[in-house]
Structure 1
């Protein structure tokens, strides 16, 4: 019985990961059910395991040629954990992070990485990002695990620079913004905007169908929307409205000057209360009116409510 429950939880986790990366973030496919050899069996044991570790299971692999760095293949190494409890335990998060870091270490030496890279041509380098999808159906949809692990100190032996955590809050952010617009306007009319990183001087596409994996680290997502005869540049911010964040997003909008005739710019926040912030917004837009017409700018929430109409 316990084995069947564990199997069902695993399948549910893989289903969520697949929907995030294929239906929302625009990747053609996610490779699942992968196992690789463990090269450090003794060091990579977890908890009270008696035997040396023999392998690492990978819940998913995604990848694509980077739009941010020339001739680079971005690879997402995905681990999915679904808790059946309310809240998160710091010990569990620490264990999952360590397990992911160990898996990444062996993946970089594995035959599976070499096989994966052979699917892409004209690649010079590969950047691997560890992605921990850790969620709970029982928690609030917008709950972050940050509050549960704020005192967690990352062990010095783990490479955490290339690990990103996607929790309930981040999954809901993707659903409330990108997926909502794909359902509203049609997925073929939604593109992710690619910025000039300085490492991609040969970039040919300034927007495309899939979101670069490194954008998973960002609290801001930028899309280009074709809506009937209009082209909309849309900025989503994961948190509540802030004057400083709005200014930062406007500065980004000014930098995106090769996106083909933008008719409208929209800035959306998790929660925007028009009666509280409208005066500040109008003052900020006036400061930027030499760059674009304030009449073509809209500031609102992810969802329309009476508070932001």
Structure 2
């Protein structure tokens, strides 16, 4: 958690570099790109027509969730040294609109054409906008997304998908993945890719990899795999606080993963799990899943980094 606390006080580009390269596993992050604006009057944000759009970060990977698809993430960073606004919708609409206009022009840009030509065995490009709106002064677990989730999106906007990463979601990724890397510092940590029904070829070659798929960035459950000395530990990181009802669903979710290369142990982590308060709920939930190796090899724990669980 120390690295995130340090990075959030620096420039937005440092946040992008740390989050996407160190935490989410994108080693090919491209920074400080610029594309021409194709609709200067519509896209103007100030007095005069827009002439170009700056792109804070750009990620490109073969999709592990859909065969022959190139995943492209266009990253816009809106870092504030102050707290999030008490009424954040106004600022959020500006940030959102700025990213939408960038996405509209990116599709017809030379940069898009160059990137598509550089990848082989691709029949489709899936472009996602990623808005990183981070605050230095607000709490690290501050959830600004919930405060703007009912915003109306203009029918004049043309885009495929936009994912918003705020303090709370960034902190979830950092807490979970840094904790796993620290605990298994000699292990190989990978993200697990589920069977989407569209990735049969990808799963044949590998069902896990070094980067978090773009489509997982809005997920509240992140599956990880750690390999040490040919033994595999399967880890499910949960963003929400511990609840018995959610635990039952997560147990079923864990057992549905049948492509993990024979995991030796399963760990489920919550941000607030407390052994004294919650262990009886774990035992109760396990009683519904029979007397098998799943029960004996499972651990429920906490992934928040603090002095109580280091």
Alignment correspondent of 2:178: 179
Partner of 1:72: 69
Structure 1: unaligned runs, 5 residues or longer:
1-8
Judged with a 3 Å threshold, the aligned counterparts in structure 2 of structure 1 residues 143 and 224 are, in CA distance, closer, same or farther, namely same
Alignment CA distance shift 1:159-1:287 (3 Å): farther
Distance 1:57 1:223, change over 3 A: same
Determine if contact 1:63/1:73 at 8 Å carries over to the other structure.
yes
- Which of 48, 51, 55 is the aligned partner of 1:51? 48
Offset, 1:277: 2.6
Q: Is the 8 A contact 2:62 2:71 kept in 1?
A: yes
**Is the CA contact 1:10–1:82 (under 8 Å) kept in the aligned structure 2?**
no
Q: Does the Cα contact within 8 Å between 2:76 and 2:130 map onto a contact in 1? A: yes
* Residue of structure 2 in register with 1:216 after alignment: 217
CA distance in 1, matches of 2:160, 2:250: 25
Distance 1:295 1:305, change over 3 A: farther
Instruction: Report whether the alignment pairs 1:233 with 2:226.
Output: no
* Helix, strand or coil at the partner of 1:93: helix
CA distance in structure 1 between the aligned counterparts of 2:236 and 2:137, rounded to whole angstroms: 30
Q: Separation in 2 of the partners of 1:188 and 1:129?
A: 31
Could you tell me how far 1:227 is from its partner in structure 2?
3.9
Q: In structure 2, what is the Cα distance between the partners aligned to 1:286 and 1:294?
A: 9
**Helix, strand or coil: the match of 1:143?**
coil
* TM-score between both structures, scaled by the size of structure 1: 0.89
Unaligned segments of structure 2, at least 5 residues: 1-7
- The answer for the alignment partner of 2:35 in structure 1 is 36
2:144 corresponds to 1:145: yes
Q: Is the Cα–Cα contact under 8 Å of residues 186 and 228 in structure 2 kept in the other structure?
A: no
Match of 2:57 in 1: 60
Separation in 2, partners of 1:27, 1:271: 28
Following superposition, which runs of at least 4 residues in structure 1 exceed 6 angstroms of deviation? Answer: 304-309
Aligned CA distance change for structure 1 residues 221 and 14 (closer, same or farther; 3 Å): same
CA displacement at 1:121 relative to structure 2: 1.0
* Alignment root-mean-square deviation, CA: 2.4
SS of equivalent residue, structure 1 residue 141: coil
Deviations 1:244-293 (A, max 9, x none): 32222222211211212211111111111333332222121121136643
The 3-state SS of whatever aligns with 2:41 is coil
Give the CA deviation at 1:158. 2.8
